[in-house]
Amino acid sequence: MTLISKKKLSYSISPGLREYLHEYDRESKLPVTYRDLLRYSGSFPLMDRNGRDTLWQTVFYEPSTLVELSAGLAEVYALLRTDGDLSFTDHLLADRIDYCQFGNSNPFRVRIVNQLNDNYDYFYVKRADASRVYGLELEHLLSPNRINYLVCGDSLIEEHIAGIPGDDFIRDHLQRPHLNQVRIAKEFVKFNERCFARLLGDMRAYNYVIIATPDFEDEQYRVRAIDFDQQSYEGKKNMYLPQFFKDNRKVVQMCSRLLKTETIRQYQAEERTLIARRVRLERYRLKNLMDIMRRDETSTDEKTAQLKQQLNAHYGSTAFDRCRSMGDVVHQNLKMMLLARPRPD
């Protein structure tokens, strides 16, 4: 069982990373920042439709503050979704703001309602952290998913990623009679491979979602990460393999029951091939990002040394001895994953 012993350290965005964000249109001046949302005057627990505590608090503000924030948050949504076209903001309303004290980034979740049809969407306002930004960018470049986010100073704006939270899916959906468990197992194997390739950690069940898409004969599934705080921070190799988290045990057992070893290896090879193609497609942007990441401090020396040792043992290699930073470790691990066949655990 994999455990996180201490809360992750926060790392500020370096000048090099901020220049990268500006170059690729990830940086924007915002009318509302994380600090502005901290001015709430009270809160109450937010419960789900079944009466369970969501660990979120709905916050409320003084009337004058709320008017100011609501207009600004509608503009933030326009910047995120329509590249700043404010012609749509007149009928947008920020009708609820939730705050979560659980986790590293202590996010605010903003619900934006279209007053013309009552449709709503969400986005998140978080403390900007270099680890999270690197995680978002690597997800955008190396996964099948596109990521939409903006940075302003020490504030980070993220779009909402729709899907069934992994813990809810495992509890409420995994044993449904018409669920295609083989396809779920396949996608979890591929998700496991993606996380390990770019060293995205802490994929406990509530840190990813399951997206089900109806197909002409059956449903297709995708497992998608929604939390990127633990991008290449921890020193334990198993932190980067979702299969080792207690939350995911039922899915892992399902994979073991339904998939033969050669089938698992096939799915792993398929995912590595897709990652390699994305690397070739985005090679210049990825090189730019990795050059900055390799110079930045994103973990402690102790954790970096521990991960180097464990990855050397995993691959039967000494290649990680040359790594001087956690960014170097990510770079080397991508090379090892995509150019060589790793030893099975």
pLDDT tens string for the chain (345 positions)? 565 656 789 999 999 999 999 999 999 999 999 999 999 999 999 998 888 888 899 999 998 898 889 999 999 999 999 887 888 888 899 999 999 987 777 899 999 999 999 999 999 999 999 999 999 999 999 999 999 999 999 999 999 999 999 999 999 999 898 899 999 999 999 999 999 999 999 999 999 999 999 888 888 999 999 999 999 999 999 999 999 999 999 999 999 999 999 999 999 999 999 999 999 999 999 999 999 999 999 999 999 999 999 999 999 999 999 999 999 999 999 999 988 554 445
User: Are 201 and 313 in a shared domain?
Assistant: yes
Please say whether the beta carbons of 115 and 91 come within 8 A: yes
Give yes or no: residues 190 and 296 share one domain. Answer: yes
* 201 and 333 belong to one structural domain: yes
**3-state SS of 159-226?**
ECCCCEEHHHHHHHCCCCCCCCHHHHHHHHHHHHHHHHHHCECCCCHHHEEEEEEECCCCEEEEEEEC
Is there a single domain that holds both residue 188 and residue 239? Answer: yes
Contact criterion met (CB below 8 Å) for 259 and 198: no
pTM over 0.85: yes
Domain total for the chain? 2
Q: For residue 148, is it within any domain?
A: no
For residue 88, give its domain range: 31-127
144 in a structural domain: no
Q: Which of 73, 106, 127 is the last residue of a domain?
A: 127
250 to each of 101, 166, 242, 261, how far by Cα in Å? 28, 11, 12, 18
Residues 188 and 245 in one domain: yes
In a domain, 202, yes or no: yes
151 falls within a domain? no
Both structure tokens of 80: 């995120």
Query: Same structural domain for residues 211 and 307?
Result: yes
Same domain as 110, residue 176 = no
**Measured in Å, how far apart are the chain's first and last C-alpha atoms?**
15
Question: Do residues 183 and 43 share a domain?
Answer: no
- From 102, 127, 152, give the residue that closes a domain: 127
Do residues 319 and 234 both lie within one domain?
yes
| Residue where one domain finishes, among candidates 109, 127, 145 | 127
152 occurs within a structural domain: no
Residue 101 maps to a domain: yes
Whether 150 is in a domain gets the answer no
In a domain, 25, yes or no: no
